[in-house]
Amino acid sequence: MRRRLGVTYAVAAVALLIIVGLVVSSLVRLDNAIHTRSDIMAPALLGSAQLVSSLVDQETGMRGYLLQGHEEFLEPYNSGRRDESAQLADLQRRLAERPDLLGKLRTLRERILAWHRDYADPSITAVRDRGPKAATALSPEVGKRRFDAVRAASDDLESALRTKAIKARNNVGAALHFLVLALAIGALVLIVLLAAIARALRVWVTRPIEQVAADARTVASGRLDHVVEPAGPPDMIALAGDVESMRQQLLSELGVARAARIAVETQAEVLQRSNRDLEQFAYVASHDLQEPLRKVASFCQLLERRYGDKLDERGTQYIAFAVDGAKRMQQLINDLLAFSRVGRSTDGFVEIALGDVLGRATTTLSLSIESLQAEVTADELPVVRGDPVLLTQLLTNLIGNALKFRGDEIPRVHVSAVERAEDWEFACADNGIGIDPEYAEKIFVIFQRLHGRDVYEGTGIGLALCRKIVEFHGGRIWLDATVEHGTTFRFTLPKQALLAPMSEPAALVGAVEAAGLPSVSAPASAASSAAAPSTAEPPAPVPSNPAPAPNSARSSGGSS
C-alpha cells in the first residue's frame, strides 16, 4: 500500500509541477507582452506624435520669424527644438533593443538634422543679420523638400510603431488566453488528481480500515465467533490478521475465564455448604455439646462429694482431671464460637468513643484488676467507626493478657493513640514478662501457646481473635519488638472504616481441625457422636510440674 500511495503521490507531484510550470510560463509571457505594449510601444507612439508636433511648431515659428523678423516669433521654434531633443532621446532609450525601429529613428534624426542644417538655421541667421528681406534670397523649395523628407521618415517610424503596438496587443491577448487555458487545464488536472487520490485512498485505505473497524466492533460487541476477513493491500491484510489474532486470543482467554468462573461458582457452592455445616456445628457446639459436658462435670463433682472419702488419691485425681477437661472443653467451645462469630453477627459499624469501649473492658475485668491491684490508664482516645462488641472484646483480651502474664510488680497497663494520615495507631503496653520477638508471628496463630496450661491457663485463641477483629475493621495488629521491658501490642483502625466482608468459613474449619473436634462435613453423625457416651480410657495423669516451653522469660507471654 505504501508503494502504491507513493507512486500516486509522485504522479500527482509531477503533474502539479507541470501545471505550475505552464502557469508560470504564461504569466511571464503575459508580463513581457504587457511590458512591450505599455512600457515601449504606447510611449514610443506618443513620443513620435509629440516629436512631429514639435517639428511642426518649429516650422510655424520659423515662418513667422522669416516674415516679420521679430524674435518673439522664434519662441515656438526654440521650444520645439528643446522638445525635439527630449523626444529623440526618449525614443532612443525605448527603442534601444529594437534594431529595426532604431534604424528608422536614426533616419528620422538625420533628416531632421538636414532640415536644420540646410534650411532652418541658415534662414534664421540671414534674417537676424540682414532683416526679413534677406529671406527672399533663400530657396523655399529646399526647405520644403527637407521638411517633406522629415515628414516621410516620421510617418515611416510611426507606421512601424503602430504595427509593433498592434502586435504587442495581440501578444497580450494570446498570453492571456494561454494563461486562462493553462489555469483551466491545471484545474482540470488537479480535479482529476484529487479524484484519483480520493479513490485510491478509498480503495486502499479507508474501505479496508472501515471493514476492519466494523469487524472489530462486531467482535467488541460480544460476537467473538465473528471471523475477521483480511482484504485490501498487504498492510491492511496484516492489520486484519492482527485483529483476527487478537480475537482468537480473546476467545481463548474467554474460555479460560469461563472455566475459572465455573470453578469459582463451584468453590462458592462448596463454601456455602461448608458455611451451612459450620452453622450447624455452631448450633451443636452451643447446645448439644455443652450440655453433656456440663453433665459430665456435674456428675464428677457429685461423685467426688459423695464418694470422696472412699476414693484413694489417684481416684480423686482422675475425677479432677475429668472435671478440668470438661471445663476446658467448654471454654474452648465458647472461644471457638466467639472466633467464628467475628464479622458474622455484626449489624454494621457505628461511631463509638474508644474511651467508652475501654471503660466496658475494664468493668468486665474489674474483679481481676481489683484482686491484683492493677493500674489501667489511658490517654485521650479518639472516636472511631467499628463494632462496639468486637472492640470491647479486643481491649478485654489485650488487657486480660497483660494481667495474666504479669511479673513480680503490680500490673500496669497503658492504652495510647497516635493520629496518622489515614488511620489511628493504638498501643497497649504493660510491664509484664514480655514476649521474645522470635515469636512475634506465632502468638497470633490460633491454638499456638508458649506455655503449658498448668503455668498459664487459656485456650490459645485470644490473640488470634484480636487479629481477626482488627483485620475485620480494616487494620492490622503486631508485637512491638523494639520495647525491651514488658509487652506492647500495636494496632491500627482506619479513620474511614468500611464494613469488612464476612469471615471465610475455611478459617473456622482450620480451627476445628486444629482443636481436634468432630468433623463438620456430616453434622448429623457429629451430633450423634457427641451425644454418645465415651468408652475411651481416662487420660493419663498430668505431671504436677511439666517441662516449661523452650524459651526465655520474655517468651512467656502467649495467647490467652
pLDDT at site 454: 57
Does the pLDDT of residue 413 top 90, yes or no?
Answer: yes
CA atoms within 13 A on the CB side of 537: 3
DSSP helix/strand/coil, 426: strand
Q: What does the radius of gyration of the chain's CA atoms come to, in whole angstroms?
A: 63
The whole-chain average pLDDT of the chain stands at 74
For residue 425, name the pLDDT band (cuts at 50, 70, 90): very high
Rounded Cα distance, 248 and 256, in Å = 12
d(CA 560, CA 346): 23
Contact 75, 65 (CB under 8 A): no
> Can you tell me the distance from the alpha carbon of 347 to that of 387, in angstroms, rounded to the nearest whole number?
8
As a whole number of angstroms, the distance between CA 336 and CA 465 comes to 9
Q: Helix, strand or coil for residue 119?
A: helix
- Residue 198: Cβ within 10 Å count: 11
pLDDT at 358: 92
Considering the entire predicted model, what is its pTM?
Answer: 0.43
Name the residue ranges covered by the structural domains of the chain.
2-210, 283-556
> CA-to-CA distance for 40 and 101, rounded, in angstroms?
11
Question: Which of these, 162, 172, 169, lies nearest to 45 by C-alpha position?
Answer: 162
Among the residue ranges 177-186, 281-290, 305-314, 386-395, the one predicted with the least confidence is 281-290
- Whether the per-residue pLDDT at 483 is higher than 90: the answer is no
Q: Phi/psi of residue 13, each to 5°?
A: -65, -45
Side-chain-side CA neighbours of 535 within 13 Å: the count stands at: 2
Span of 66-75, 154-163, 361-370, 436-445 with lowest mean pLDDT: 66-75
Which range has the worst mean pLDDT, 138-152, 233-247, 506-520? 506-520
- Provide long-range contacts, Cβ within 8 A and 24+ apart, for 23-30: 23/179, 23/182, 23/183, 23/186, 25/182, 26/175, 26/178, 26/179, 26/181, 26/182, 26/183, 27/179, 29/171, 29/175, 29/178, 29/179, 30/172, 30/175, 30/176, 30/178, 30/179
Question: Do the beta carbons of residue 560 and residue 465 sit within 8 Å?
Answer: no
Contacts of 38 (CB under 8 A, 6+ apart): none
Q: What is the pLDDT of residue 547?
A: 36
Are 560 and 462 spatial neighbours (Cβ–Cβ below 8 Å)? yes
Highest average pLDDT, of 98-107, 210-219, 407-416, 536-545, comes from 407-416
Where helices occur in 342-451 by DSSP H, the ranges are 354-364, 366-372, 388-404
Largest CA distance in the chain: 201
Whether the pLDDT of residue 548 is over 60: the answer is no
Most confident of 155-164, 214-223, 462-471: 462-471
pLDDT for the residue numbered 247: 77
Question: Which whole number is the average pLDDT over 293-322?
Answer: 77
For the segment 299-315, the average pLDDT, to the nearest whole number, is: 77
Q: Please write the tens of the pLDDT for every residue from 523-536.
A: 333 333 333 333 33
416 pLDDT more than 90? yes
Residue 21, SS3?
A: helix
Tens-digit pLDDT profile for residues 50-88: 777 878 877 777 777 777 767 777 778 777 778 878 877
**Poorest-pLDDT segment among 156-160, 331-335, 383-387:** 331-335
> Between 556 and 25, whose confidence is greater?
25
Q: Among 499, 501, 502, 523, which Cα is nearest to 512's? A: 523
Q: Residue 168 carries which DSSP code?
A: H
**Cell digits for 445?**
496463630
Which of 10-14, 166-170, 275-279, 401-405 is predicted least confidently?
A: 275-279
Q: What dotted CATH number matches 283-556?
A: 3.30.565.10
Q: DSSP H helical segments within 406-499, as ranges? A: 462-472
The pLDDT-based confidence of 31 (bands split at 50, 70, 90) is: confident
Q: What percent of the residues of the chain are helix, what percent strand, and what percent coil, each to the nearest 5? A: 70, 5, 25
